[in-house]
Structure 1
Amino acid sequence: MNEKKNALEIKKTEQDKIVSLLKGYGDTDSFIASAKIYFDDKPELLQTTRASQISALYQVAQLGLDFVDVKGFAYLVKFGDRCVPMIGYRGLIDILMRTKKYKKIEARLVYANDECKISFGTKTEIVHMPVIGKSKGNMVGVYAVALTIDDIYYVEWMDNDDIEDVRKHSKKKDGAIWTENYGEMAKKSVVRRLFKYLSIRQEEKEIEERLNKALELDNDEFGVETEQQEPPEISKPKSEPEAEKEEVENGKFTEEESEQEEENEEQEPEQEKDEEPQEKPKKQDDAIRSLFA
């Protein structure tokens, strides 16, 4: 049987990089299979640049997530000629659950006809009884709850005004991200706020780094403004070989690098020529930052 003429192609070198980025938090074959199925279901993604496609896969792989639809961990969206990764709120939860410190973390929408009571103070508690058998009414808010292995609850609540305040600060407040996925974005907003109170042990630094990368990617893609972070500590500049090695290990890459990898592979047979290949001008790439400008 012939393979599809227009389908996602992942080269051996790219597969090897995906293996290094997953770092034990996912099966490479399953990841690649989920990506190919995702592209098959959304053929418009094949109209994007191949460099942006591979870059998007790398960014999701470094978080240890995949594109299985029922999980809702990560998504790919076409913006112009670029394939852009987006992390679902379930993806954020999955990363934090790897700490084994929490029994559950979840987010739920609350509607006008639901019975919902939240108490804070010396005892944090939430009772939510969704209405059954009649109209649920309009959405009135959203909450996220985390239960630790020590049976301690953390609860965060946002009403419609809170959610709207987040949306108004989004670079794409009137775009499809919010208009077509309002409930999911509301859940994501409250999960992000809850995460400010949840701690990660020092020995779980890698999980913390993955979560931070997911949140940073979320900031860029969704344009949600967050509280200003303290500036990172300035470390001693690394030599070029060390910096390059660290970028590969940490999963830092750009679409230009994906393009350059392909160009290098195509040019390998010509390297024996006496004439030195001219360095190609570096393309300016506003990439993801300008997508919502």
Structure 2
Amino acid sequence: MALQALKNINRTAAANNEQPQGFPAMLEQFKGEIARALPKHINPDRMARIALTAFRMTPKLGECDPRSVFAAVIQSSQLGLEVGLMGEAHLVPFGNQCQLIPGYTGLMKLARQSGLVQDIYAHEVRMNDTFALKLGMERSLEHEPLTAPGGFPASDEERGEVVGFYAVGVLKDGSRTFVAMGRKEVESIRDGSRGYQAARKYKKESVWDTDFVAMGLKTVIRRICKFLPKSPELATALAMDEKAHAGQGQNLNLNDVIDGSYAPVDVAEGAEEIKDKPPAKAESQPQSAKAVSKLEKLDKVVAALKSASTVEALDEIYIRAEVDLEDAELDVALREYRKCKDAITEQGSLV
């Protein structure tokens, strides 16, 4: 349940025509309320310490609106990810706003915790490794890293330059799937990143320069996650990461984050695009029919979510919805899923 004390952060600052207090002071002031807003398995004291450490490690965050930092920290906890040194998620300045960017270890954690994926892992392939990839009717992937005397892995220097990356997903039934990307393909994705482009423009180092292997691993993890069954938490993390990669705002609204109804895409904005976007002259009828079809599918999904009586049924409906919905419509479904889940959980606690 949303806590009014936290929601009043925005309202009080506006009413008093004041800048909100700094993030460390805000974290201390609302520690008790944070504890009640977090999922039960999250330790609020540990979360606060980790968040404060992450904040101090990035001085530029001090120039961000502290409410956005606060929202990013709460959202990270809602997803079940720790910000900072563990690499599960990172607080990153974006103008005067803070963004929450999941790391590849965070994406793997969410995939495993969904209960739909038994395991997920990724590795880089180097020049002197043995690597064999076979696609078609019978797919296979084999990777043998170069070994040193005694059979232990050789050093990165001995193995040579990185030539590619791959990720493997093991589903609940034991079946496996994988993706493999050569270095040039990964670098092409890097070059399309707004953060990397900005770093090149202003002649600064980016995370791609300092941690190329980690970013390559994240790239293949993101790619394979698109083909795996996703929990709402993983879907949200991927959408937030995609927004950051494209250099767009994440729409981190403190009230929505506290409610647990946050979605990376502004739903109202997405609905307006469907309603107001003028159709192309040559394709006006097909585009209009497509928009109506999307809204009809969304209405059916929302109705099904509202009629579900158990969390298991909700999960099943949402997973199926991922096949038929995309972008703004899927975000609407995600918000409705969370509201229905909260209602079922609260009703169960009263019984």
TM-score by length of 1: 0.65
Q: Alpha-carbon deviation of 1:252?
A: 3.0
Matched, 1:26 2:52: no
Paired residues for 1:106-185 under 5 Å: 106-131=121-146, 132=154, 135-174=158-197, 175=199, 176-185=206-215
Whether the 8 Å contact between 2:179 and 2:223 is mirrored in structure 1 is: yes
Whether the 8 Å contact between 1:125 and 1:153 is mirrored in structure 2 is: no
Cα deviation 1:21-72 (Å, max 9, x = unaligned): x434532222112112223444443343322321221232221111251x31
Instruction: Decide which moves more: 120-129 or 213-222.
Output: 120-129
Q: Determine helix, strand or coil for the equivalent of 2:132.
A: strand
The residue that corresponds to 1:72 in the other structure is: 87
- Report % sequence identity: 25
Whether the 8 Å contact between 2:84 and 2:90 is mirrored in structure 1 is: no
Whether the 8 Å contact between 2:236 and 2:263 is mirrored in structure 1 is: no
Unaligned runs of 5+ in 1: 1-5, 201-207, 226-243, 255-293
Q: Could you tell me how far apart the structure 2 residues matched to 1:102 and 1:182 are? A: 26
Q: Determine helix, strand or coil for the equivalent of 1:8.
A: helix
Matched, 1:192 2:217: no
Paired residues for 1:238-253 under 5 Å: 248-252=258-262
Whether the 8 Å contact between 2:83 and 2:89 is mirrored in structure 1 is: yes
The residue that corresponds to 1:55 in the other structure is: 71
Classify 1:167/1:247 alpha carbon distance in 2 versus 1 (closer, same or farther; 3 Å). Answer: closer
Classify 1:77/1:190 alpha carbon distance in 2 versus 1 (closer, same or farther; 3 Å). Answer: same
Classify 1:54/1:210 alpha carbon distance in 2 versus 1 (closer, same or farther; 3 Å). Answer: same
Segments of 4+ moved more than 6 angstroms: 244-247
Q: Could you tell me how far apart the structure 2 residues matched to 1:87 and 1:47 are? A: 21
TM-score by length of 2: 0.55
Across the aligned residues of Structure 1 and Structure 2, the Cα RMSD in angstroms comes to 3.1
Unaligned runs of 5+ in 2: 1-21, 147-153, 200-205, 249-253, 265-351
Whether the 8 Å contact between 1:59 and 1:251 is mirrored in structure 2 is: no
Q: Could you tell me how far apart the structure 2 residues matched to 1:61 and 1:100 are? A: 19
* Letter of the 1:34 counterpart: I
Classify 1:15/1:121 alpha carbon distance in 2 versus 1 (closer, same or farther; 3 Å). Answer: farther
Q: Could you tell me how far apart the structure 2 residues matched to 1:171 and 1:41 are? A: 22
Instruction: Decide which moves more: 45-54 or 157-166.
Output: 45-54
Whether the 8 Å contact between 1:26 and 1:65 is mirrored in structure 2 is: no
Aligned length: 222
Q: Determine helix, strand or coil for the equivalent of 1:113.
A: coil
Q: Alpha-carbon deviation of 1:120?
A: 3.5
Classify 1:177/1:15 alpha carbon distance in 2 versus 1 (closer, same or farther; 3 Å). Answer: farther
Q: Could you tell me how far apart the structure 1 residues matched to 2:210 and 2:218 are? A: 14
